[in-house]
Amino acid sequence: MSAPTQLRPYQERALHETRSALARGARRVALYLPTGGGKTVSAEAMIRGAVAKGKRVLFLANRKQLVAQASAHLTRAGIAHGILQGENTRHLHAPVLVGSIDTVRARNYIFDDVALLIVDEAHAVAGSKKYRDLLFRYNRVPVIGLSATPFAPGLGKHYDELRGPLFEELVIGATIRELIDLGNLVDCDVFAPADPDLSGVRTQRGIGGELDYSETQLAEAVDKPQLIGDIVQHWFKLARGKQTVVFATSIAHSQHIVTEFVRAGIAAAHIDYHFDDDERAAVLDRFARGETMILANVGLLAEGWDCPATECMILARPTKSLIRYIQMVGRVLRPHPGKERAVLLDHSGTVLRLGFATDELPLELDDGKANASTRKKEERKPSEPKACPSCKFVRPAGVHACPSCGFAPQRLNDVEIADGELVKIDRKVKKPATPDRKQHVYSQLLHICRKKGHKPGWTANQYKKMFGVWPRGLRDVTATPTPEIEGWLKSQRIAYLKSREKAQEGRANV
């Protein structure tokens, strides 16, 4: 083996904490490092340590390109290894195997001598029966799961077959914000020119077991000429000349976006799973060389693809999945000479739903209990970012003047008004009026009423505005208000102030 790749201090710390967790008796440890944080380099160090002790290592991934990527890294590092992936399978007696979980499952390979199992993109384990069955079979083998999004539902769920959680401990190597401060990642400016109407799009289980939009209905909602034209128009305005990756809702949507860019005179290309290895490599190579300015896809490039020169991402695929969102944005955060900041053009409303990708994440293993994932995501972002009414730059909550164009909406009490027209962005979340929800809303209103010293009838009046009926049979208990309720109350205040303004204008004109 050649000399090991030099580790950064936070990687050394992460490896020390991972080994300490295993030494304490944990069998399955999840290691979090953001995209660009060096998961493969960390895996190399773990593999070297195990091989030096005469142990055999199995490195598993869930996608063909991730297997190829890990193999290429180990080859550069001078680590002899075998491949266990479809027709590429070879050298199965090597001390290190890099394999595909699909091939392992299809061929029912048995690894009695494996002493360490490393799982790449480990957030996929909770939603994969293939992975779970493998961990059940080798429940006494130490497992290290690598992930930039370790908050998938059920990643810390208890299983009788394991006599404990799927992953028992989470080691946090570094956060996105820490890596930005260190210069290992770049920060991101976000513009939200559009927020498509998704009221008719249902949700279903998606990546990592998270609820996400139905892809078929989603494509119908956003693959429209006026929306695609808006994408091209804003790219010229905000990101012209920047290498750009586009995430679309479907292959047809991606192709339509490319067509419009080409029509506008911009070199653009589409790529999808139907491309063979040579075709895919050729498209990616032309983009890496700068011959192609726009590269559009659906989800192929969300994991296992790195092109640091990419400065801009167009998010044309709305998502509710924090995992999918973080993985996509991670494609443009890697540093590159001359690249000071990345640009995200969000035509999906995702930033306004899920917050900034560089915000603090819910770094805690989800135990699989009902609503746990939703609760963590709500805790992640206590208040919503807003799009500047003038330039659509997304400013953090609480920032009044736009950092991009300097526009400062006129303040009326605590409500912002731009050019005489109210601009408000909220999540438009519609929840069923179940008894539990009614009680929860009533408790939140009661808390606000008492804290702000409103008259006793205020709570009942606000409740009636929301549900259309007076509160009956509800318990007199308080609850901490959620951003949803605070936003709804603010919208009521806005409506009142606007109606008062109009009334005053009417009286002035009499």
- In 72-122, which ranges are E strands? 82-84, 96-100, 114-119
Taking the C-alpha atoms of residue 402 and residue 221, their distance in angstroms, rounded to an integer, is 30
Taking the C-alpha atoms of residue 246 and residue 479, their distance in angstroms, rounded to an integer, is 42
Q: Domain for residue 389, yes or no?
A: no
Taking the C-alpha atoms of residue 31 and residue 48, their distance in angstroms, rounded to an integer, is 17
> What is the count of structural domains for the chain?
3
Which helix (H) or strand (E) element contains residue 258?
helix 251-263
pLDDT tens digits for range 478-508: 877 877 788 788 777 777 776 666 665 555 4
Is 60 exceeded by the pLDDT of residue 407? yes
What string of H, E and C letters represents the secondary structure of 277-305?
A: HHHHHHHHHHHHCCCCCEEEECCCCCCCC
Residue whose token pair is 């490319």: 258
Q: Looking at residue 157, which CATH number applies to its domain?
A: 3.40.50.300
Taking the C-alpha atoms of residue 4 and residue 239, their distance in angstroms, rounded to an integer, is 39
Return all residues near 107 (Cβ < 8 A) that are at least 6 apart: none
Please check whether residue 348 is in contact with residue 315, taking contact to mean a CB–CB distance below 8 angstroms: yes
Task: Say whether both 234 and 294 belong to one domain.
Answer: yes
Q: How far apart are the first and last CA of the chain?
A: 89
Task: Say whether both 136 and 280 belong to one domain.
Answer: no
List, in sequence order, every residue forming a beta bridge with 421; answer none if it has no partner: 418
Confidence of residue 283 (pLDDT cuts 50, 70, 90): very high
Pair type for strands 164-165 and 341-346: unpaired
Task: Say whether both 68 and 203 belong to one domain.
Answer: no
Q: Domain for residue 96, yes or no?
A: yes
Confidence of residue 382 (pLDDT cuts 50, 70, 90): very low
Q: Domain for residue 235, yes or no?
A: yes
Total-model pTM: 0.73
Return all residues near 496 (Cβ < 8 A) that are at least 6 apart: none
Return all residues near 456 (Cβ < 8 A) that are at least 6 apart: 449
Domain span at 155: 9-175
pLDDT tens digits for range 209-257: 667 887 777 777 777 777 788 899 999 999 999 999 999 999 999 999 9
Task: Say whether both 150 and 285 belong to one domain.
Answer: no
The total of other beta-carbon atoms located within 10 Å of residue 202's CB is 10
DSSP state of 217: H
